[in-house]
Amino acid sequence: MRFEHETLAQRVCFTPGDAAATVRAEVERLGGTRVMVIASPAEADLAGKVTTDVPVVLRHDEVVMHVPVASAERARAAAATHEVDLLVSVGGGSTTGLAKAVALTTGIPIVAVPTTYAGSEATSVWGLTEGARKTTGVDPRVLPRSIVYDATLTLSLPVAMSVASGLNALAHCVDSLWAPRTDPVDQALAGEGIRALAAGLSAVVAGPAGLEGREQVLYGAYLSAVAFSSAGSGLHHKICHVLGGAYDLPHAQTHAVVLPYVLAFNAPAAPRAERRIADALGDTSAVGGLQRLRRAVDAPKALRDHGFDKADIDDAARAILEVVPANNPRPVTPDRLRRLLRAAWQGADPLTLDGEES
Ligand code: NAD
């Protein structure tokens, strides 16, 4: 066994019902005296509750999905004006993303309090958009110093969004099994992540007010993000990155829809990944297990339901082909990719992908 695995340094606190006390402790530990709280207006109440005992000098609520450069600039300017020395982000991936954009140019440390299962808090990946172009990069300055996970903060996340967001996390796990820098540690994390996410999502759908399922999904989301951060973006993330950036599709739903098609495409050429996913899902086949879970939780089904236009398939395929990872288990031809996108647009059975080439 020969591999290199980089472990990212951050504190991870699972603290059900105790976010406020834990945030205060983390802010003190990091020496924060002038705190900027970043939370969208929708999460303002949650953010208020978890930052009651923190020296807040600014509450910033201009949060936009995919972090437009102009909104990042305004947040950076506000941080400078108020001489902020610590950021507390309370929200989903969009909110964490804005905090990362501020940290990227200022080096101000972040305490992240996630309220979805996006997982951005556990990666050193930042993303910014300008026009229709999404740029991402990796920088250690954007990795939150501390994460405060409190499953009670996700109780208000509607079931449909919980499912989409949890499947976004599951996609991190699946893609980590064949992404460019995948290693045995990532693969172990991904397997346990899939198990926790599948169990947790089923429990959330069965009883949205229950805490145990939400905790399992948060735990799985954390593992998924650690695996993804180390393994890098595989085919699935490259596809979703192009679709999200160029066509402004909703992040979590796009991941949730595309995942079974990429899995059905790669699984025959990646037998070890296939086995690990099937085992984690308690099924005899990875695609079968994923589809069973997707039916049970009423997962998002088709890209056409989320704003993707059939007429854009050819252009999207061209853009994706330029960024397909060289190590993908199966060669990606223009025809196969168009077929995958057509099937995902329509919500067709992923197992029909391998018919006659058109
Ligand atoms: P989001 O942050 O935009 O949140 C989606 C919606 O859920 C919003 O309307 C928000 O107000 C609402 N919401 C959040 N928490 C809630 C709660 N507890 N209760 C009720 N409503 C709540 O979406 P997301 O899927 O969490 O994040 C997507 C963004 O994160 C994308 O821009 C994506 O690129 C980025 N992302 C980055 C990384 C990374 O490593 N850099 C990883 C994953 C996602």
In SS3 terms, the chain reads as: CCCCCCCCCCEEEECCCCHHHHHHHHHHHCCCCCEEEECCHHHHHHHHHHCCCCCEEEEECCCCCCCEHHHHHHHHHHHHHCCCCEEEEEECHHHHHHHHHHHHHHCCCEEEEECCCCCHHHCCEEEEEECCEEEEEECHHHCCCEEEECHHHHCCCCHHHHHHHHHHHHHHHHHHCCCCCCCHHHHHHHHHHHHHHHHHHHHHHHCCCCHHHHHHHHHHHHHHHHHHHHHCCCHHHHHHHHHHHHHCCCHHHHHHHHHHHHHHHHHHHCHHHHHHHHHHHCCCCHHHHHHHHHHHHCCCCCHHHHCCCHHHHHHHHHHHHCCCCCCCCCCCCHHHHHHHHHHHHHCCCHHHCCCCCC
| Shortest-distance atom of ligand 1 to CA 122 | 40
Above 60 in pLDDT, residue 252?
yes
**Does 358 score more than 50 pLDDT?**
no
pLDDT of residue 265: 98
What's the pLDDT score for residue 342? Answer: 97
Pocket of ligand 1 (CB under 6 A): 40, 42-43, 65-66, 91-95, 97, 115-116, 118-120, 123, 125, 127, 153-154, 156-157, 161, 165, 168, 251-252
pLDDT of residue 355: 59
Residue nearest to atom 39 of ligand 1 (CA): 120
Q: What is the pLDDT of residue 151?
A: 98
Mean pLDDT of the 81-89 span = 98
Rounded mean pLDDT of 230-243?
Answer: 96
Binned at pLDDT 50, 70 and 90, residue 130 comes out as confident
Between the CA of 118 and the centroid of ligand 1 the distance, in Å, is: 6
| Rounded mean pLDDT, 153-162 | 98
For atom 17 of ligand 1, the residue with the nearest CA is 157
- Please state the atom number of ligand 1 nearest to the C-alpha of residue 117: 26
Mean pLDDT calculated for residue range 108-136:
93
Pocket test for ligand 1, best of 50, 120, 123, 141 (most atoms within 8 A of CB): 120
pTM for this predicted structure: 0.96
Residue nearest to atom 25 of ligand 1 (CA): 252
Residue 127 CA: which ligand 1 atom is closest? Answer: 41
Q: Please give the CATH number for the structural domain made up of 159-353.
A: 1.20.1090.10
125 CA → ligand 1 middle, Å: 15
Tell me the average pLDDT across 203-216.
Answer: 98
How remote is the CA of residue 117 from the centroid of ligand 1, in Å? 8
CATH architecture, domain 11-154: 3-Layer(aba) Sandwich (3.40)
Q: Where in the chain is the domain with CATH 1.20.1090.10?
A: 159-353
The confidence band for 354, taking pLDDT boundaries of 50, 70 and 90, is confident
- Number of the ligand 1 atom closest to the C-alpha atom of 65: 32
Say yes or no to pLDDT of 356 above 70: no
How much is the pLDDT for 246? Answer: 87
Across 132-136, 246-250, 305-309, least confident range:
132-136
pLDDT range class, residue 87, cuts 50, 70, 90 = very high
Residue nearest to atom 24 of ligand 1 (CA): 93
Q: How far is the CA of 285 from the centre of ligand 1 (A)?
A: 30
The segment(s) of the chain belonging to CATH 3.40.50.1970 are 11-154
